[in-house]
Amino acid sequence: MVKKLNKRGKYLFVFSSLLLYIYIYCLESTKYSSNLKVLDLAHRGYALKNEESTIKAFKYAINQNTDGLEFDIRQTKDNIIIVTHNHKINIFNKKVEELDYNKIKKHTNIPTFKEVVQLAKKHDKMIWVEIKDSVLYNKIIDNMLIILTEENYINNVIVQSFKLSDLKYIYQKNKNIKLFKLEIFGYSYDSIPRYIDYIGLPIIAGVINCNIIKKIHKLGYKVIFWRENSLFENKYFINFLIKKQADGFMLDKPLKFFVNKEEQGV
């Protein structure tokens, strides 16, 4: 019990310290707020509301009027692209690339990439696709582009990756696809190529460096913040980043649960 309380106390101390920092050093110097629409992107279909990255979750996100469906892709042994964040399918205790899709389909709710594209197309929703561990999957990027082309949805996708090499390859294949470079800390944003459209940062990075959005905007990129855990997915940090003109958020719950319409700029 003591250990639990100590751990909880540490979290509260860190959280309280960050709030104090925001108030003293950042909020008081904030002289503007956003007048633009802040993108509300459903992280894995708003993962706190439904089983993440399932058709049910994506339908829920669509019903909540999300601005885009965010999800990860991997590829099975028989070269079917599926929508899942996890490298291993727990029910089999095997990696995605070790399993055929029919076996996965029979025992899980994991959809194919094509199914999610078709759902998004039906409701005219943008998709924000993160490529996971591309080196593990034979031609996954090419196969993804083939599906997007076949579904005539290549202009309705933003492709994201932590690996710049993935994004560079896509740019060489099709210069019209919008690209999203994911970052952990944001320290290297000034060295990102100009063909990148969006930079993604964890919420804490924007809170600690309260001028980072302005600096990134000056370079011509838009900034999307993603949630790393529930501690930072809260109204204080999110509203602070909106005041600093964040372009959007990838959250496990709809943005409306954290901000008012007036604060959201809609």
- pLDDT tens digit string along 13-63? 666 666 666 655 565 554 444 456 899 999 999 998 889 999 999 999 999
Mean local confidence (pLDDT), 59-88:
97
Say how far apart CA 247 and CA 262 lie, in whole Å: 15
256: left (phi over 0), alpha (psi -120 to 50) or beta: alpha
pTM: 0.87
CATH homologous superfamily, domain 67-174? Phosphatidylinositol (PI) phosphodiesterase (3.20.20.190)
Pairing of strands 198-202, 248-251: unpaired
Location of each CATH 3.20.20.190 domain in the chain = 67-174
